[in-house]
Amino acid sequence: MSKLRAHCFSLSVDGFGAGPNQTRENPLGAGGEALHEWFFPTRTFKQMTGEAGGTTGIDEEFAVRGFHNIGAWILGRNMFGPIRGDWPDDAWKGWWGDNPPYHVPVFVLTHHARPSISMAGGTTFHFVTDGIHSALRQAREAAAGKDVRVGGGVSTIQQYLRERLIDELHFAIAPILLGSGESMFGGIDLVKLGYRCAEHVTTPNAMHLLLRKVS
């Protein structure tokens, strides 16, 4: 069976995956953009944004690993956009413009139904209203044997962790403190859930931790 993986999930030293006061203009919250300073210079990110160049090395290697053998994605609704409640219309199609960086089917968790959206580059957003297990079943079917990547945010990662459904989880710990925001580890006991640290590598921009489910 294909694996469910989370990759390139940036956290602060004090365990926050986004800063406080998230808005449409500041989707990562106050100070949250600094979580991803390890990722922004990489060749992978530059390619995603249509730019040339980019850094190589360990940070780039972890970025590349996050896209290898991925056949579908799962996102929480907040990762798709800032709109809450019922969809007012079909105008909002994500943060990423006409050609999102996924290029495979993406399943968005929501309580409010919406027709699927086909975008340039092979990305299709499907909106799942009947929970995380349904989203995973649909994503695995769409992935056709490849792995599924769960992209976040924090609440979505936590839901899949509590059900012990994530097989592999890469955290990039940024050398910053946020003080408040969305806490990844509140109420989460990774040891009891059967996760162990399988790999750790430090760069000037982040400490990369790879956790695997072992029991």
CATH number assigned to the domain comprising residue 186: 3.40.430.10
DSSP 27-89: TT-TTGGGGGTTTTTBHHHHHHTT-S--B-SHHHHHHHHTTTTEEEEEEEHHHH-S--SS---
Expressed as residue numbers, the domain containing 192 is 4-17+30-82+149-213
Radius of gyration of the chain (CA): 16
Section 185-191 average pLDDT:
94
In this predicted model, which residue has the larger pLDDT, 150 or 93?
150
Question: Which pair of structure tokens corresponds to residue 69?
Answer: 């053998």
Q: Is residue 8 part of a domain?
A: yes
Burial class (CB in 10 A: 0-12, 13-18, 19+), 53: exposed
Q: How far apart are CA 150 and CA 116, in angstroms?
A: 18
Residue 82 banded pLDDT, cuts 50, 70, 90: confident
**Entry pTM:** 0.94
Q: Is residue 192 part of a domain?
A: yes
Q: How far apart are CA 195 and CA 192, in angstroms?
A: 8
Q: Is residue 108 part of a domain?
A: no
Q: How many structural domains comprise the chain?
A: 1
Q: Is residue 178 part of a domain?
A: yes
Residue 59 banded pLDDT, cuts 50, 70, 90: very high
| pLDDT tens digits along 35-47 | 999 999 999 999 9
Per-residue model confidence (pLDDT) at position 27: 79
Q: Is residue 68 part of a domain?
A: yes
